[in-house]
Amino acid sequence: MSKFLHIVITFFAVAGLCVAGFFLFSAHKNTVIDPKPAAVAQGTIASPAATSSNIAVKNSGSDLPFQPQLANPPAVMKGIYVTAWTAGSAKMQALIDLIKRTELNAVVIDIKDYSGYVSYAMNVPDVAASGAENQIRIIRPDALIKELHDSGIYVIGRITDFQDPILAKAHPEWALKNKTTGAVWTDDHGLAWIDPAATPAWNYFASVAKDAFARGFDEINFDYIRFASDGSLENISYPYWDGKTPMAAVIADYFKFLRRTFPNNKISVDLFGLATVNNDGLGIGQVIENAYEYFDYVCPMVYPSHYANGFIGYENPAKYPYQVIDYSLSHGLAKLLAMGNANTTASSAILEPSVANNAPDTKLRPWLQDFDLGAAYTSAMVREEKQAVYDALDAATSSQY
């Protein structure tokens, strides 16, 4: 995900059921961003302007004090995702300029990505000891947050969880092992994973999020909360998971831990798109109803290219973005409504009061595809994806109200 641009467009709510817009997973060539009417002509595509100015966060070696959360977050959130490398560079100024002249008002920034490295130096001894601070990308995170907040921009921090080569090296006792060699197991990309049942690692990930919230991040987005899915899975030895407890129960326990740890903060989670349709945990422990119970935003990655050939009768689902996304979100929304609460909150009747989601509602916020995989994606196809989100919401709300 790190080399692509993500766009969060058109967050909205209807009759108490909220679909919190969507993220566009983009290679940037087809991205559709509506400009502010006063900025550029309606219907044109706004693009980052060239700039020679450097963002303030790079002008000094000293940082500012921790910042408060955005005092008046926008009611309708629309934003872009950038890598930590970009966020800590002069390129960030162009993106801030883009946000100011378009409908955008939020940004997603990596705090810890797939590599295991954190983006900036933290006040967390365990993080420093692990070696995760050996590739700093953002020198002055607090100044960056202030710069964004001063412009009224909502700041979301993204954390990759159980895929973490740095933590696996620092704490191999928490990592998946190769049954044959006893060494740390790696997936098809050579990346090491942490056992999802390793509760000491949960505290490590939470410490990263706590540091981010203390600095003024408005929301934390958790990704890779799942069991490994690629590589020689039959050759994995788990140091913590007993192999009998359902994977979905292990992942749900971590969801519950995060909500208990952050009862009053905004937290979101990314899931495989097929979690909207399937009920079996997908072999990785992701059950969307479990996520609905504990997160403010649930973000299924409904990329049509990631669905198997033959899905809902289409030989190549990537060529049918509207149909795939409408079908997926319709099922995802139906599951949300079936939880029995018209406001889509977690049911306190089945959760401990201290653990139940304290947000007024749980929102579905899907990721959409804007990259060439399975098909060459055009702007028209991206617009079909957006329309599918609106239509799925309309159908769900009309049937409920």
Length of the chain: 401
In tens, the pLDDT along 235-294 reads 999 999 999 999 999 999 999 999 999 999 999 999 999 999 999 999 999 999 999 999
| Token pair of 392 as six digits | 């799925």
| Crossing angle of helices 199-215 and 247-261, rounded to 10° | 30
Highest mean pLDDT among 209-218, 336-345, 389-398: 209-218
Averaged pLDDT for residues 330-348: 66
The percent of the chain in helix, strand and coil, each rounded to the nearest 5, is 35, 20, 45
Report how far residue 98's alpha carbon sits from residue 196's, in angstroms, rounded to the nearest whole number. 38
Tell how many helices (H) and how many strands (E) occur in the chain. 10, 14
Higher pLDDT, 1 or 315: 315
Closest CA to 396 of 348, 364, 367, 366: 364
Evaluate if residue 344 carries a pLDDT over 70. no
User: Between 196 and 366, whose confidence is greater?
Assistant: 196
Ranges 14-23, 63-72, 156-165, 361-370: which has the least confidence = 14-23
Terminal alpha carbon distance of the chain: 37
Q: Which residue has the higher pLDDT, 388 or 102?
A: 388
Of 56 and 384, the one with more pLDDT: 384
Question: Which one-letter amino acid corresponds to residue 303?
Answer: Y
pLDDT digits (tens, 9 = 90+) for 171-199: 999 999 999 999 999 999 999 999 999 99
Classify 12 as helix, strand or coil: strand
Instruction: Give the rounded percent of residues in the chain with a pLDDT score beyond 70.
Output: 78
**Do residues 57 and 64 lie in contact, with contact meaning Cβ atoms separated by under 8 Å?**
no
Q: DSSP secondary structure string, 349-390?
A: TSS-TTTS--SS--EE--EEEES-SSS---HHHHHHHHHHHH
Q: Which tens digit of pLDDT belongs to each residue from 26-35?
A: 555 555 556 6
- The tokens of 21 are what? 């817009």
Q: How confident is the model at residue 168 (pLDDT cuts 50, 70, 90)?
A: very high
Give the least confident one: 36-45, 165-174, 324-333. 36-45
Token pair 């990596």 is found at: 110
State pTM to two decimals: 0.84
Determine the pLDDT at residue 36.
57
Work out the pLDDT band at 386, boundaries 50, 70, 90: confident
**pLDDT confidence bin for 81, thresholds 50/70/90:** confident
Question: In this predicted structure, what is the pLDDT of residue 20?
Answer: 53
Residue 400 has pLDDT above 60, yes or no: no
User: What's the CA gap between 327 and 325, in Å, rounded?
Assistant: 5
